[in-house]
Amino acid sequence: MNLINDVWIPAHRKNGEKIKITPWQITEDIGTDREIVELAAVRPDFNGALIQFLIGLLQTTCAPKGNSDWRNWLNNPPSADELKKKFEPVSFAFNLDGDGPRFMQDFYLEKDDKKTSKDIGKLLIDAPGEQALKKNTDFFIKRDRIKKVCIHCCSQALLTLQINAPAGGKGQRVGLRGGGPVNTIIMGENVWQTAWNNVLADSEFDRFANVAKTTEPDKFPWCGQTRTSERDKATMTQDVHPVQVYWSMPRRIRLNFMGQTNTCDLCREKRQIVKAYWTKPYGVKYEGFKHPITPTYKNKDGLSLSAHQHEPIGYKYWMGYVQNTDDGHEPAKTITNAYSRRLQKFRLWAFGYDMDNMKACCWYEGVMPVIFIDNETQWKHYNSEITMLIQASDTVSDYLSKAVVKALNSSLFNAVRQRFWRETEPEFYRQIALLRDEIVACKDGLSIRQAWHKYLVGNAQNIFDDMSQSDLIDQINAERVAKAYNELRKCIYSKKLKVEILGLPKKKEGNA
């Protein structure tokens, strides 16, 4: 099976039809009800990996020289045949099976006497680890649930693991961006636009590693001897070509094909299946890399690291995913590049695993609408106003959470915060759309900040009433609830929130 030439990518057409396509078919029937509008894998993490596969393939074979070349293809997509011709020169590196180099698989592992065999279900990131099996704590993802996986799903699982690889015990290397990185994707109206929106010009992309490293293994590490790390040997940006950021191989894996046909435990379709794979520790140990679609932050030592997700994705993460922050959080290069390309509106699709060392705790994903202002001064003003709105939300969520905890004498802090951010999200996007109009009209944004404060106050009070059960006066500690409510009200009308954070005008004593 070849991942360039054979159909294996599940997708939906605009008319709702679910099909399998090759990578080069993403531009087929654009502008009709048969165009490919979304990926349709059986798991959301597979969809996240597949869009990165398509972006990486385009970046590897079709990188534009500049923004004008990029915009030309955005408005006038290449035909499927054109894409096929562009992809053909690298198709040798995308064989999933066979005796030679295999996609994201260790070239020499099959003949290694020290390799071990694993059940194919272990290829899934959320599969229970060895400790969970020993301690019988596989409560949510049960053992032996996945015993046979078809070659289509297997290729998706392999891709997903290699680009997200979490810690997995001694010698099991993490992904190029660490385990379970955040991915931020600029969405389009169809799969072609979504993939092409995130392809950088050569001059921008070449900075991610060493363009002088041009051999096949420099780009596709499975095409040669694996850069193993038994002695903690690191692979740095100077050691590989930039495209390897999309084709990383931290895990030493080789699929064990037995030539059997059966029903896949994931997609329930019948085709060739895989039941096991070989593996060995000490694969490629990547250090010092950034990735085009991953935001970054600075640690206490000032090093810039890839961001990871530990909470539901929403406007709380606007700062860092869409805008820079004063403490070193920066959006992905593809996002800042969208501003230089003058994309007026787009949807930002963010997703990633919440990893606790080698344990997958949760998969998070969300979509944020982003509006750009094509005037540098107004754009900076717009961003500064949004910063105030989000800081106000963060402050009120903290006040509210503490108040509910005090009222109930319980540990609901995180639950309250998450509910607050979730419930205020739709109004936030409505307000920043209105804010954009105000800024373009050369207004100061004060009316939006006033409206936002009023909305946050009302939302906080409603959530407090609901969660503190203040209407059940005979079932609660009324004195404690009343005291917590009064403290909350004092905080949400405080000078700190209204004046110092939101920049609202000071009012005379006695006025709220």
The pLDDT tens digits for 304-350 are 999 998 889 999 999 999 999 988 999 999 999 999 998 989 999 99
| Residue 440 pLDDT exceeds 80 | yes
Average of per-residue pLDDT across 66-87: 96
What is the percent of the chain with per-residue pLDDT over 70, rounded to a whole number?
95
Residue 214, C-beta contacts closer than 8 angstroms, at least 6 positions apart: 241
Q: Which tens digits make up the pLDDT trace of 16-30?
A: 999 999 999 999 999
Q: What is the dihedral of CA 426, 393, 398, 335, to 10 degrees?
A: 80
Return the top range by mean pLDDT from 38-47, 137-146, 404-413, 503-512. 38-47
> Residue 365 in contact with residue 350, Cβ under 8 Å?
yes
| 3-class state of residue 106 by DSSP | coil
Q: Which residue ranges make up each domain of the chain? A: 9-280, 376-512
- pLDDT score for 470: 53
Beta strand residue intervals within 413-495, DSSP E: none
Give CA angle at 356 (354, 362), nearest 5°.
30
Q: What is the overall mean pLDDT for the chain? A: 92
pTM: 0.93
> Residue 229 in contact with residue 284, Cβ under 8 Å?
yes
Name the DSSP class of 418: H
Residue 437, C-beta contacts closer than 8 angstroms, at least 6 positions apart: none
- pLDDT score for 344: 86
Beta strand residue intervals within 67-166, DSSP E: 116-119, 149-150
- pLDDT score for 139: 37
Q: Which tens digits make up the pLDDT trace of 145-195?
A: 899 999 999 999 999 999 999 987 889 999 999 988 999 999 999 999 999
Q: What is the dihedral of CA 192, 193, 194, 198, to 10 degrees?
A: 110
CA of 113: how far to CAs of 116, 203, 221, 447, in Å?
9, 44, 21, 71
Query: How does residue 94 score in pLDDT terms, banded at 50, 70 and 90?
Result: very high
Give the range among 49-58, 125-134, 227-236 with minimum mean pLDDT: 125-134
Q: What are the φ/ψ torsions at residue 337 (nearest 5 degrees)? A: -65, -30
CA of 345: how far to CAs of 80, 184, 221, 341, 436, in Å?
27, 15, 37, 11, 11
Q: Which tens digits make up the pLDDT trace of 368-418?
A: 999 999 999 999 999 999 999 999 999 999 999 999 998 887 778 889 999
Q: Which tens digits make up the pLDDT trace of 441-468?
A: 999 999 999 999 999 999 999 999 998 8
- Please classify residue 114 by burial: count the beta carbons closer than 10 Å to its beta carbon, then call 0-12 exposed, 13-18 middle and 19+ buried: exposed
Q: Kindly state the tokens that stand for 307.
A: 């961001």
Q: Which tens digits make up the pLDDT trace of 126-143?
A: 987 555 444 444 434 555
Is beta strand 9-13 parallel, antiparallel or unpaired with respect to 36-39?
Answer: antiparallel
- pLDDT score for 131: 52
In whole angstroms, how large is the CA radius of gyration of the chain? 25
